[in-house]
């Protein structure tokens, strides 16, 4: 049984979860602060997380194809379905972009146009040079001003649209070649050669562009802070999340009687990947943390200082769930072959990497919001020191920032249901196991 049917019951359940997500988002919006920070940061968080999974799925397919890997062919269609979600991701990102243009949200400090140029006149016109009638801009933030040729709404808008658009075109091309191989493939394997070509071209494009996207979407939340590692770190997080979601999907499909030829051997390999890349993620995490800790530069340590002191649950929870637990559970070979254990770990790790992005986004969004509200309430009272990041005193526990609350989890479930809904609908379009792929035989008879 290799033709997936998207049943009415599944549609209903997923639809209900999407509804739950919408209700939670609505409730968040209503119960939120005046800038709707929780709502918007949830939106950004889930959009980035699921778009990233779609991106990584495309990337993994391309990388595996280029490396002559064969064993994954049997579940390649799942990654194809995931990769197509990029178009939905682009739609969601457009909402965020719209928010930047229309000032619906204040997620990013760099959207504060009053801070970018050193001089201002009474009419509120800003200038880079001193002119007649201009005086010093009390709000001027020299760091933001220096970055404004990258951190601005034009780059944010067109960079995102072009990059995600290009990713989607690649995902779509890979998909259509794969579908056409089902229909017209023969032993000359001309389709596979084309897939290989498209994959090879995609890899460098993806490597260069994904970093820029992560800087804009996530790292620029801390507009004063920077770390060269950050993009690779976030990509590793996406990667593990995508693997976990793949494992969960496979286990679900098997429970429904699909993918009969998929055995413990495949799950073993996926488990190994999840284990290895959890360790790799930890390696990147540690390298970034250790170097910043060791050098002890104020403008760098502020990032971890805030998280360790004010968000200890996020900081340590992230490490425990993303390193300690998968490491200990998956270390033994036997556990990597058991569907139950691997499935449980996959669910844990999937949530944990969502939690990792929560940890990256929420504290920064909250600081930006407090900052924006502060500026809003006391006109012109824009404090300079460390860009207003030093809000150490009087940190109060706030649901949705210090810890994911019910509304945030509900929103997450809604987005996840949307992702799965979309993936199911794409999976139903073709056979679950690709036909005529030159590596199919290897994948169907995969033995370690």
Partner 1 sequence: MSAVVSPIREPLIEGGKSYHQITEDLVGPTEKVPGFSWILCMAISLGLFTLGIVSIFWTIFFGIGTWDLNRTIGWGWDITNFVWWIGIGHAGTLISAILLLFRQKWRTGVNRAAEAMTIFAVMCAGLFPVIHMGRVWLAFFIFPYPNTRGPLWVNFNSPLLWDVFAISTYFTVSLLFWYTGLVPDFATVRDRASGIRKKIYSFLSFGWTGSAKHWQRWESLSLVLAGLATPLVLSVHTIVSFDFATSVIPGWHTTIFPPYFVAGAIFSGFAMVLTLMIITRKALNLEEYITLQHVESMNKVILATGSIVGVAYLTELFISWYSGYIYEQFAFYNRAAGIYWWSYFGMMFCNVISPQFFWSKKLRRNITFTFFMSIFINIGMWFERFVIIATTLARDYLPSSWSYYTPTWVEMGIYIGTFGLFFVLYLLFSRVAPVVAVAEVKSILKTAGDQYVGANATHTHHDRQERATHIND
Partner 2 sequence: MKKQNKEVLYGLYNDEEILLDAIKVANKDHLDIMDVYTPFPVHGLDPLLGLEESRLHIAGFVYGALGTLTAFGFMTWVFTRDWPIIFGGKPYFSAPAFIPITFELTVLFSAIGMVVSFYTVCGLGPGTENPTLDDRITDDKFCIAFDTAAYSNDQLSKLKDFFKQTGAEEVNTKMI
Rule CB under 8 A: which residues touch partner 1? 66-70, 142-143, 146-147, 150, 187, 189, 192, 200, 203-204, 207-208, 211, 215, 226-232, 272, 276, 279, 283-284, 287-288, 290-292, 294-295, 297, 299, 435-436, 438-442, 444-445, 447
In this complex, which beta carbon is closest to partner 1, that of residue 301 or of residue 425? 301
Taking the least distance from each CB to partner 2, the nearer of 134 and 293 is 293
Residue 439 interface partner, choices partner 2, partner 1, none, CB cut-off 5-8 Å depending on type = partner 1
Q: Compare residues 279 and 391 and give the one whose CB is closer to partner 2.
A: 279
End-to-end CA distance of the chain: 25
Shortest Cβ 297–partner 1 spacing (Å): 6
Report the interface residues with partner 2, using CB under 8 A.
286, 289-290, 293-294, 296, 331, 333, 447
Give yes or no for a contact between 415 and 17, defined as CB atoms under 8 angstroms apart: no
Rounded CA-CA distance 282/347 in Å is 18
Tell me the HSE value of 117 on the side-chain side, using a 13 A CA sphere: 17
Output 279 or 373, the one with its CB closest to partner 1.
279
Work out how close the CB of 150 gets to partner 2 at its nearest, in angstroms, rounded to a whole number: 31
The minimum distance between CB 2 and partner 1, in angstroms, equals: 10
Q: Which is nearer to partner 2, 291 or 386 (CB)?
A: 291
Burial class (CB in 10 A: 0-12, 13-18, 19+), 365: buried
The least CB distance from residue 312 to partner 2, in Å, is: 15
Are 61 and 76 within 8 A, CB to CB? yes
Minimum CB distance to partner 1, residue 273 (Å): 10
Minimum Å distance from CB 280 to partner 2?
14
Residue 330 CA to residue 338 CA, distance in Å, equals 10
* DSSP codes joined into one string, 283-300: HHHHHHHHHHHHH--HHH
Measure the CA–CA gap between 342 and 244, rounded to whole angstroms: 9
* Minimum gap (Å) between residue 293 Cβ and partner 2: 5
94 interacts with, out of partner 1, partner 2, none, CB within 5 to 8 A per kind: none
CB of 290 to partner 2, least distance (A): 5
Nearer to partner 1, 239 or 415 (CB): 239
What, of partner 1, partner 2, none, does residue 29 touch, CB below 5 to 8 Å by kind? none
| CA–CA dist 105, 64 (Å, integer) | 39
CA 439 vs CA 65, 74, 249, 444: distances in Å: 10, 9, 22, 9
Q: At what angle do helices 230-255 and 339-377 cross, to 10 degrees?
A: 140
What is the rounded CA–CA span in Å between residue 113 and residue 116? 6
H or E stretch including 245?
helix 230-255
Rounded Cα–Cα distance for residues 218 and 223 (Å): 10
Among partner 1, partner 2, none, residue 187 binds (CB under 5-8 Å by kind): partner 1
- Measured from the CB atom, is 207 or 331 closer to partner 2? 331
- Toward partner 2, which CB reaches closer, 302 or 367? 302
């Amino acid at each position: 049984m290799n033709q997936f049917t998207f049943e009415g019951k599944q549609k209903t359940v997923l639809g209900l979860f999407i509804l739950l997500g919408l209700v939670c988002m609505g409730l968040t919006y209503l119960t939120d602060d005046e800038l709707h920070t929780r709502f918007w940061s949830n939106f950004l968080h889930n959009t980035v997380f699921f778009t990233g999974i779609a991106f990584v799925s495309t990337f993994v397919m391309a990388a595996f194809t280029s490396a002559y890997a064969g064993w994954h062919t049997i579940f390649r269609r799942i990654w194809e379905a995931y990769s197509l979600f990029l178009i939905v991701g682009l739609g969601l990102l457009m909402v965020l972009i719209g928010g930047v243009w229309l000032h619906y949200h204040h997620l990013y400090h760099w959207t504060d146009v009053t801070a970018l140029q050193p001089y201002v006149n009474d009419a509120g016109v800003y200038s880079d040079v001193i002119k007649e009638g201009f005086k010093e801009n009390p709000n001027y933030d020299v760091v933001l001003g220096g970055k404004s040729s990258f951190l601005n709404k034009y780059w944010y808008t067109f960079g995102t649209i072009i990059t995600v658009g290009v990713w989607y075109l690649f995902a779509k091309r890979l998909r259509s070649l794969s579908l056409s191989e089902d229909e017209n493939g023969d032993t000359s394997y001309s389709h596979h050669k084309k897939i290989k070509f498209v994959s090879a071209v995609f890899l460098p494009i993806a490597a260069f562009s994904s970093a820029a996207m992560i800087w804009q979407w996530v790292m620029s939340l801390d507009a004063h802070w920077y770390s060269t590692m950050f993009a690779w770190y976030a990509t590793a997080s996406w990667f593990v999340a995508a693997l976990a979601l793949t494992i969960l999907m496979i286990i679900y499909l098997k429970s429904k009687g699909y993918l009969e030829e998929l055995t413990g051997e495949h799950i073993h390999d996926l488990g190994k990947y999840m284990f290895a890349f959890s360790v790799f993620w930890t390696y990147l995490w540690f390298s970034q943390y250790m170097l910043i800790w060791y050098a002890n530069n104020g403008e760098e340590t502020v990032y971890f200082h805030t998280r360790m002191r004010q968000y200890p649950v996020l900081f340590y929870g992230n490490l425990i769930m993303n390193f300690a637990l998968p490491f200990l559970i998956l270390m033994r070979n036997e556990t990597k072959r058991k569907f139950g254990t691997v499935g449980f770990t996959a669910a844990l790790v999937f949530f944990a990497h969502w939690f990792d992005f929560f940890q990256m986004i929420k504290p920064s969004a909250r600081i930006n919001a407090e900052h924006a509200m502060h500026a809003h309430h006391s006109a012109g009272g824009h404090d300079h020191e460390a860009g207003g990041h030093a809000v150490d005193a009087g940190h109060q526990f706030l649901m949705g920032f210090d810890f994911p609350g019910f509304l945030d989890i509900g929103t997450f479930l809604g987005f996840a249901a949307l992702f799965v809904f979309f993936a199911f609908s794409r999976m139903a379009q073709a056979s679950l196991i690709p036909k005529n792929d030159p590596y199919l035989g290897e994948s169907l008879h995969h033995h370690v």
